[in-house]
Amino acid sequence: MATLTDSVLRALGRFNAAHPWDHNAHYHRWILRQLPSRPERALDLGCGTGDLARLLATRARTVRAVDADPAIVARARELTAPAARVTYAAEDALAATGDDGTYAAVTCVATLHHLPLAPALERFRDRLAPGGTLVVLGLARPETSGDHLLGLLAIPLNAATGWIVNRGRPAPRPAAMTATTRDAEETFAEIALAARRILPGARLRRRLFWRYTLVWRKPADAAGPPFGRRREGDAGPRPVPRSPAATPPVRRGAGPSR
């Protein structure tokens, strides 16, 4: 039985390698729907080849896209039209860049598991403008029976989607799938616990294709209205008092994003 299972998994692996598709890009349009409709400034952390950054630029006045891997940033620049409102930078997602509190939208796709969890969430929070929105698409280490069941369900759907996307023909890997990868260490429960402590009111949900989502809207303060227009009835959580404790020292991420 074990030999049969191994053979099936190897065959699936060969099929998926011949019919690749980008799991992260599957969620890009969903991410856009969570953000302000016309943000003034947007920040994409762990931008990879810039697929999401270019989508953000169709809505935001300016987009800053960063990745720790200089080679993947260079590739993103090559794939981006000169007229696109995107500025790329090869830098750590946790770097102090002097632009805290200025972004109406912050996105992070398949990158959080490359970074120290709590410092990264704190850094993301601090870069948001009052009333701004953070959206994370992440990976978590499977732990519960529900995690494993969702993963098993994704296996045939993954193969079917690869077949449909590539119209049944073998295809090269998308540029976005050439970035460095690593396995997630934190479980969904551990991520949710940290998020609810650092980002009160954050909404987290397990997703298909070995992903989860996190959405958080920073409370608007008395300094001014939220940046960008949000959909009618899409109110954020009520303001929560901030702790006076100092933010822990920022450490560098564990590796290039993805």
Residue in this structure with the two tokens 């009111």, named with its chain if needed:
201
For residue 6, what pLDDT is reported?
66
CA gap 198, 126 in Å, rounded? 11
Amino acid 225: pLDDT = 40
- Can you give 93-110 as a three-state secondary structure string? CCCCCCCCCCEEEEEEEC
pLDDT at 52: 98
Establish how many alpha carbons lie within 13 A of residue 202's alpha carbon, considering only the half-sphere containing its beta carbon. Answer: 23
User: Could you tell me the pTM of the whole model?
Assistant: 0.81
Q: What pLDDT tens digit does each residue of the chain (258 aa) get?
A: 456 566 666 776 787 778 876 889 999 999 999 999 999 999 999 999 999 999 999 999 999 999 999 999 999 999 999 999 999 999 999 999 999 999 999 999 999 999 999 999 999 999 999 999 999 999 999 999 999 999 999 888 888 888 888 888 888 877 777 777 889 999 999 999 999 999 999 999 999 999 999 999 999 973 444 444 444 344 444 444 444 443 333 333 333 334
How confident is the model at residue 8, as a pLDDT?
Answer: 62
* Rg of the chain (C-alpha set): 19
DSSP 187: B
